[in-house]
């Protein structure tokens, strides 16, 4: 785990616990009272999925047990799956024993996050499986929820995908608005010369690719092109630059991604991996003795 991922995870969970007012659970305080005896529980899948959530569960438990309210309370957990595992419907992800109040405090935060992250991992894996290519990598984008980028991108990797740039500092990526503001592709690329930084440029037509290839950028993104225009652009790039990698993006979904399998490209970026994933069904149940 990278240091930035750990910091993001800690911040996200701290904020989520505070938002849910887990230390002021009036229902549990009134109905359970001092009868806070340990209870067995299990976290299980209610559909087939790729799991992502061990880091989340561990951090939620850690923060709760480090609080004054839940200090010393019992929470013993056994993981039966690890991040990136393929899990079948009705299979248990984890099981354990915990004092009733601490598990009720953390239950919703745990489930909200692992359902979301597992949905990203599952969706990513479906794209990787449908593409079925040993050469082309599925990439995420910066279309992430505020403050969740690092953990969402971690979930993409759990599903077999790869991360595009993490933020605006990671790489020069000249997009259509940059090109428009600079007065054209050549003007934009000339400003990045001799900067000793990786340069990617987004092109939405063959003519733009023809302009861009003169500068041998590290990556050319073919954005929202038809298959035919993409193929024409790929031929131009491969015939003129051994250095330039090729990324395809724009409107690619599970129904169409197989159409790109035969292309001589390096990456396909898919914004929907993180910005419109369908939440998967994971539950937490008490086991009565």
Active site residue 288: no
Structure tokens given for 152: 């969402």
What φ, ψ does residue 2 adopt, rounded to 5°?
Answer: -75, 160
Measured distance CA(150)–CA(10) in Å, rounded: 11
| Active-site residue, selected from the candidate residues 69, 108, 171, 186 | 108
Active site residue 170: no
Measured distance CA(81)–CA(197) in Å, rounded: 40
Measured distance CA(92)–CA(102) in Å, rounded: 20
| Active-site residue, selected from the candidate residues 59, 107, 140, 202 | 202
State the number of CA atoms in the 13 A half-sphere of 264 facing the CB.
11
| Active-site residue, selected from the candidate residues 40, 126, 143, 186 | 143
Active site residue 101: no
| Active-site residue, selected from the candidate residues 165, 175, 210, 261 | 175
Query: What residues does 174 pair with on adjacent strands?
Result: 201
| Active-site residue, selected from the candidate residues 140, 200, 223, 247 | 223
Is there a contact between 79 and 40 (Cβ–Cβ < 8 Å)?
Answer: no
Q: Which residues are catalytic?
A: 108, 143, 175, 202, 223
């Amino acid at each position: 785990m990278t240091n930035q991922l750990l910091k993001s995870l800690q911040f996200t969970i701290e904020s989520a616990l505070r938002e849910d007012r887990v230390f002021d659970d009036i229902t549990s305080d009134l109905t359970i009272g001092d009868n806070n005896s340990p209870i067995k529980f299990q976290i299980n899948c209610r559909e087939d999925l790729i799991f992502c959530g061990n880091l989340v569960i561990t951090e939620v438990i850690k923060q709760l047990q480090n609080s004054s309210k839940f200090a010393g309370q019992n929470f013993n957990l056994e993981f039966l799956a690890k991040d990136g595992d393929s899990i079948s419907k009705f299979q248990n992800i984890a099981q354990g024993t915990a004092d009733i109040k601490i598990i009720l405090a953390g239950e919703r935060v745990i489930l909200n996050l692992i359902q979301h992250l597992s949905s990203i991992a599952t969706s990513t894996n479906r794209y990787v499986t449908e593409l079925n290519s040993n050469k082309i990598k599925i990439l995420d984008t910066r279309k992430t929820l505020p403050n969740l980028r690092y953990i969402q991108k971690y979930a993409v990797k759990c599903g077999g995908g790869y991360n595009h740039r993490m933020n605006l500092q990671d790489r020069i990526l000249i997009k259509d608005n940059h090109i428009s503001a600079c007065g054209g592709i050549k003007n934009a690329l000339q400003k990045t010369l001799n900067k000793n930084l990786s340069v990617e440029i987004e092109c939405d037509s063959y003519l733009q690719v023809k302009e861009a290839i003169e500068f041998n950028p590290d990556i050319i993104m073919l954005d929202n092109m038809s298959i035919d225009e993409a193929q024409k652009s790929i031929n131009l790039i491969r015939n003129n630059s051994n250095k330039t990698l090729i990324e395809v993006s724009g409107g690619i979904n599970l129904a169409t991604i197989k159409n790109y399998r035969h292309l001589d490209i390096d990456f396909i970026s898919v914004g929907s991996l993180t910005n419109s994933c369908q939440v998967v069904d994971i539950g937490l149940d008490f086991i009565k003795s």
